[in-house]
Structures are given as C-alpha cells and as structure tokens.
Chains A and B, each alone.
Chain A
C-alpha cells in the first residue's frame, strides 16, 4: 500500500536558519505529492504540491522537488521566521486510486526561536 515517512520532530531552529524536512514515500504508479502546514489551533493548509517527477513546488519561500529516483519530496526553506513555527505534513495522492484520498506522514513539528 501507499505510505509516507517523514522525519520526526520536534525541529528547533533559530530565526533565519535553513530548514529541511525529509519526506520519502512508497507508492505504485505516479502519485501527486503535497506539503501541508498546520499552525497552532488551525486546520491543515496546502503549502505546495508537485504532480509529476522533477516538478518543483514552491510557496512562501518553501520549496520541494519531486524526486522519483529517490522517492522523496523534501521540504526546504532558506531562512525561517518565527511565524513558520507549525506542524508540517507530507502527503501523497495516488493517481490510480478511486477518489481524492490523501495518505499523510506523521507530521514534523517545527519551532523557530527568535
């Protein structure tokens, strides 16, 4: 079956540090890949996505590249801010599945300190 594995947190950083959150997946076929972010007390928001190999998703200074050869979709940001403190979820949607079913990783909590 499909699965998503992401690094466990919490990840604690200082402001302006470089952030990387690793995400790898297992799926047959050609899934679409997503990063969702959950700020404290809120629901999940789509941060970025990539629908095919070598696509790069980007938003709010975050980037992730769909690497089929390594089955990875690592999230990066060059200079984090305190407002980036949140839980980040990697997810996939299988292109052959019936329906819009997302498979999520366990989430990585990021804490950015001033």
Chain B
C-alpha cells in the first residue's frame, strides 16, 4: 500500500456504540492529522500529532479520543457520539509540522451516527 490509507471507509454506529477509525501512512512522515468534513461547514482540523506527541487539540469534545502509537499509525476512538458528529473524517500526514511541508490526505471514513 502506498500513501495514506484509512479504515473503515464507511461506518454506521449508534450513539451508545464505541468504535475506532484507523489511519496508516506509508510515506515515512512524522506528523499526522485528523480533520472533520461536514456537509455545511469548512474542513475543520481536530488533532495534530508530531513524532507521536499531540501538538494540537482544536477544542474537540472528549467523545473523540485520538491515539498515535507510532509515527505511521493514528487512531480516532469514538464513544457516545451525537448525530451531528456524522461527517467525513479525513486523516493526513506530512514530513513534520512546518507549514511548507505538504499534507497528504487519505480517502476518509464516512461516519453516520444513528
């Protein structure tokens, strides 16, 4: 596999469920990101990790819990979500967090909360 992969591609979960989204990058990058893409809002940055350390939490509710066990993998653990959390969740990576390094995006996980 090359680039940034995300699994699952589609997920339907109830409000009481616990699920996890997975992101893996095969680019040798050190920084990874979670974004939320909602239908009516601009793309929103959620979390940033650099060398496995979280450097940014953009006021994300605690029902979203990220985990970065190594520079190649990023997880987003989901618990007691709300219907308004339904969105496309995009993962991205870059060489590091300096602004001139391009971010490479995965295809996203389409999440529906029922």
Question: Known contacts A43-B4, A99-B50; is A32 also within 8 Å of B100 by CB?
Answer: yes
A43 surroundings in chain B (CB, below 8 A)? 4, 6, 90, 92, 105-108
B94 surroundings in chain A (CB, below 8 A)? 100
B6 surroundings in chain A (CB, below 8 A)? 43
Does B107 lie within 8 Å of A94, measured CB to CB?
A: no
Number of A-B contacts defined by CB within 8 Å: 61
Minimum distance in angstroms from A7 CB to a CB of chain B: 13
Minimum distance in angstroms from A40 CB to a CB of chain B: 11
State the CA gap A49–B100 with chains docked (Å): 10
Does A51 lie within 8 Å of B45, measured CB to CB?
A: no
- In this complex, how many residues of chain B approach chain A with their Cβ under 8 Å: the count is 28
CB-defined interface of A70-114 with B at 8 Å, one 1/0 digit per residue? 000000000000000000010101110111111011110000000
Minimum distance in angstroms from B51 CB to a CB of chain A: 12
Question: Known contacts A100-B94, A105-B42; is A94 also within 8 Å of B103 by CB?
Answer: no
State whether the Cβ of A44 lies closer than 8 Å to any Cβ in chain B: yes
- In this complex, how many residues of chain A approach chain B with their Cβ under 8 Å: the count is 26
> What are 10 of the A-B contact pairs (CB < 8 Å)?
A4-B42, A36-B105, A43-B106, A44-B92, A46-B104, A89-B43, A91-B43, A99-B55, A100-B99, A100-B101
A residues contacting B by CB (< 8 A) are 4, 32, 36, 41-46, 49, 51, 89, 91, 93-95, 97-102, 104-107
B residues contacting A by CB (< 8 A) are 4, 6, 31, 33, 41-43, 45, 48, 50, 55-56, 90, 92, 94, 96-108
